[in-house]
Amino acid sequence: MQFSCPFILASGSPRRKHLLQQLGVAFEIQVSDVEESFDERLSPEEIVEQIALRKVRSIGQQNGRALVLAADTIVVLDGEILGKPADPEEAIQMLRRLSGNSHVVYTGLALLHRPSDRLVTAHEKTTVYFDEMSEEEIKSYVSSGSPMDKAGGYGIQDDRGGLFIERIEGDFYNVVGLPLHRLYNVIKQEFGDLLQAGF
């Protein structure tokens, strides 16, 4: 998938970077530093789209020719949003709550192309079912450091994180942080003229 204009990923996430690299997309990274706070009265879908929108506008203002992509991912357990753990103890507490339960992962997407005045948002949701984790497994996983930069305190793509996931309903890549199928469909439908021949 190649574009006839510059393509910018407005995210510092190594997982999103890796997924785009796997697709062979030529892109540049510009990290947005916008505030990621949100109104708790909003639905999870509205929250992730709103934050992605803030990010894409921030980077889009500085790049007049590019197609800019931003994303935001949250984990929702029993109606509560779990962000990135602040410290190992909070990561342990999160994993104790996830153990043996299901939760929902939401990712919001925003794409902006200023030259054609196009701004599009979308979202994806995936339900994740965790197996029971022993206290030893939880503490060992947290001690690896892997949960610390991930919403909900785990990574489905980790060497160890995936071991505890019994099954999912929905897009695997959404849980990683970038729902590729949804992204591709939005690009085809809304920005297809910016795609070079092929995909």
Write down the pLDDT at residue 183: 96
Active-site residue (options: 39, 72, 149, 159): 72
The CATH class for the domain spanning 7-194 reads: alpha beta
Per-residue pLDDT tens for 8-42? 999 988 899 999 999 888 999 999 888 777 887 89
Nearest Cα neighbor of 11 from 120, 149, 157, 199 is: 149
DSSP run (H or E) holding 87 = none
Write down the pLDDT at residue 48: 94
Write down the pLDDT at residue 1: 84
Q: Are 86 and 140 in contact (CB under 8 A)?
A: no
Q: How far apart are CA 117 and CA 28, in angstroms?
A: 21
Per-residue CA distances from 112 to 35, 71, 169, 182 (Å)? 19, 12, 29, 16
72 part of the active site: yes
Average pLDDT, the chain: 92
Confidence category of residue 171, pLDDT binned at 50, 70, 90: very high
Write down the pLDDT at residue 197: 66
Q: What is the mean pLDDT of residues 123-131?
A: 97
Mean pLDDT check: name the lowest of 141-150, 164-173, 182-191. 141-150
Which of the 8 DSSP states describes residue 40?
Answer: T
Q: Are 181 and 174 in contact (CB under 8 A)?
A: no
Write down the pLDDT at residue 198: 58
Per-residue CA distances from 114 to 2, 123, 142, 184 (Å)? 18, 21, 42, 19
Q: How far apart are CA 165 and CA 149, in angstroms?
A: 18
